[in-house]
Structure 1
Amino acid sequence: MSDAKRSASMPAGAVQRRAQNGKVGLSALDWPGQAPAVLIVPGITSPAATWAFVVEALKLPNRVIVLDSRGRGLSDAPETGYALDDYAADLRVWCEQLQLESPILLGHSMGARIVAHFDVLWPGLAGRLIVVDPPLSGHDGAPYPIPLNFYIEGIRSASAGATLESMRKSAPSWSDARLLDRLQWLPTCSEKAVEASWRMFHQEDFFLSWKVVNARSHLIFGENSQVVTAQGAAELQQALPSADYIRIPGAGHMIPWDNLPAFTEAVRHIVLSSTSNS
């Protein structure tokens, strides 16, 4: 285990869970609550602990579990195995080990692609999908708008002891607390995992999963997102008219960081209405 992983501290109120998918050790944070559980799969460089502020703001009565995707946080970083099939298989391991019945799966960015793919592979296991600003690259040759160097340089800078002010240059609107989260947890992200995942953004087409998902689905996108643009949102709606589409005002791709109140309001409405109906 790296020095960064050894020194990482756990958010208050969360219990660390461990699971094993073959030779890959996996980690997650688990906040207690009622069923159905909300299982959150974060983005390409967002370990579970960086979502603790979202869990706190949601104030849900439900159990909430946030995953460290393989190659991030306290999960292992294998040499290979960063396709959607691999991530979805990890998600199934968690559902089985934690004995989750009809969990609500919430995925952001890379995580959004994972939860949709999971639902296609194993229909009927998820109760609902909350898909947040999924990368649409890989569809009709569209490139992913955020360059790989942005992620790699961020990891290296944080690992080398970047300051709060230097980190602020890449996210000027973020609070000190969110920037400190980033500084602490970016060094736990494997460069090879991030690079492999970024490259798969261009080889795996999200639309192939989205148009055939089975669970009741809700897609949340940022008004100013460069990842899901207005045109992209329209194409998604055409591919799956039965889903709900929620635009978060004033938000870019990092929606909870850009407009936390609107994001939590949207998610709470979905989760609480789902719990009430069940």
Structure 2
Amino acid sequence: MGGVQIKSYFVHNGSVALHVLENGDASPDVPTLLIIGGLWEPAERAIPLLSGISSHVIAFSFRGRGLSSTPQSGYDLTDHLADIETIVRHCQLQNYCVLGFSRGASYALGWSIRNQHNIRGLILVDQPPIHNRVATETVEFWCNLVYLQIPILNFMRREALEGLGKDAKEVDFSPQLSQLQIPVTLFIGRNQEAVIQSDISDEILQLYLQSLPTCQVVEFLLSGHMIPDEEQQKYISEVEWFIKKISGQL
């Protein structure tokens, strides 16, 4: 989209400054899309969606990621949910849709289960319904990881990764899935040859379908876990289709 002007600003959750990117304007007819990125992803990783979706879209960087500030502690699920709440309140979001990718989908689930009265729909991208703890060796793995030739530490501070290692406790949302009364779509990578494999096993897929009988599944045959990069155009198109369906435009 030529001439797209994405707004960039900061919102404060107490002493933590959260960086927000926003495109488009809120509409009473089409729900806003709130994007919740993966473990290390800053708001900028959502620019293809921000610029590719025709309606109102908001993305942000959690604490310790991107341009957001990095507290020394406060990296458990409740802290991340508080960051989401800060964005939702500041942007005065109502009847909006939520998209969560990878670990961001576990944050999105935690948020949506508690706040579905104000949510129109939920997209979960290649993530089991579990908020995982982060083991010490996993922290080191992330600190040393280079993805698409860029070190992860360019996007997320080591202090934040270590904070996850200290603070994050496992929460299994499986028993609560059936409480969701909103439309849910699950994006799954199906490419067995992908370098980074899908995180959705057949067992996890069955769990979702049994808990959420109306759950729609979208398969990405050329992708593993990294659907937003590996099939970017299809990803954008499927998100747009979901929003239009929720809006009654289809």
The answer to whether TM tops 0.5 is: yes
Q: Which one of 173, 185, 194 corresponds to residue 161 of structure 2?
A: 194
Contact 1:16 1:30 in 2 (8 A): yes
Q: Percent identity?
A: 24
Instruction: Give, as a single letter, the amino acid of the residue that structure 1 aligns with 2:15.
Output: K
How many Å apart are 1:232 and its aligned residue? 1.9
Match of 1:250 in 2: 222
| 8 A Cα contact 1:119 1:214, kept in partner | no
Aligned match for 1:151, one of 137, 142, 153: 142
Question: Following superposition of structure 1 onto structure 2, how do residues 1-278 of structure 1 map, counting pairs within 5 Å?
Answer: 13-35=5-27, 36-56=31-51, 59-135=52-128, 147-154=138-145, 170-171=147-148, 179=149, 182=150, 186-197=153-164, 203-224=170-191, 225-276=197-248
Q: CA deviation at 1:124?
A: 0.8
Q: Which deviations, in whole Å up to 9, do the C-alpha atoms of 1:154-203 show, x marking residues without a partner?
A: 3xxxxxxxxxxxx5xx54xxxxxxx5xx45x7424122322444677771
Q: Is the 8 A contact 2:128 2:204 kept in 1?
A: no
Query: Which whole-Å CA distance do the structure 1 matches of 2:118 and 2:42 have between them?
Result: 24
1-structure distance, mates of 2:155, 2:232: 25
Letter in 1 for 2:174: F
CA distance in 1, matches of 2:162, 2:223: 25
Question: Which consecutive residues of structure 1, in runs of 5 or more, have no partner in the other structure?
Answer: 1-11, 155-166, 172-178
Q: Is the 8 A contact 2:106 2:130 kept in 1?
A: no
For residues 138-160 of structure 1, give each alpha carbon's deviation from its aligned partner in whole angstroms, at most 9, with x where no partner exists: 68x9x99x944331113xxxxxx
Long gaps (5+) in structure 2: 192-196
Q: Aligned in 2, Cα 1:137/1:226: closer, same or farther, shift over 3 Å?
A: farther
Tell me the residue number matched to 2:194. Answer: none
Deviation for aligned residue 1:73: 0.7
Q: Distance in 2 between matches of 1:244 and 1:197?
A: 31
Whole-Å separation in 1 of the counterparts to 2:20 and 2:230: 24
1:238 alignment partner AA = Q
Q: Would the aligned equivalents of 1:33 and 1:61 in 2 still touch at CA under 8 Å?
A: no
Q: How many Å separate the matches in 2 of 1:211 and 1:205?
A: 13
The answer to whether the 8 A contact 2:116-2:181 is kept is yes
SS of the aligned residue for 1:123 comes to helix
SS in 2 for 1:105: strand
Distance (Å, rounded) in 1 between the aligned partners of 2:63 and 2:179? 26
CA deviations 1:224-250 (Å, max 9, x no partner) are 343112332122212222221222112
Q: What TM-score, normalized to structure 1?
A: 0.75
Deviates more, 1:220-229 or 1:123-132: 220-229
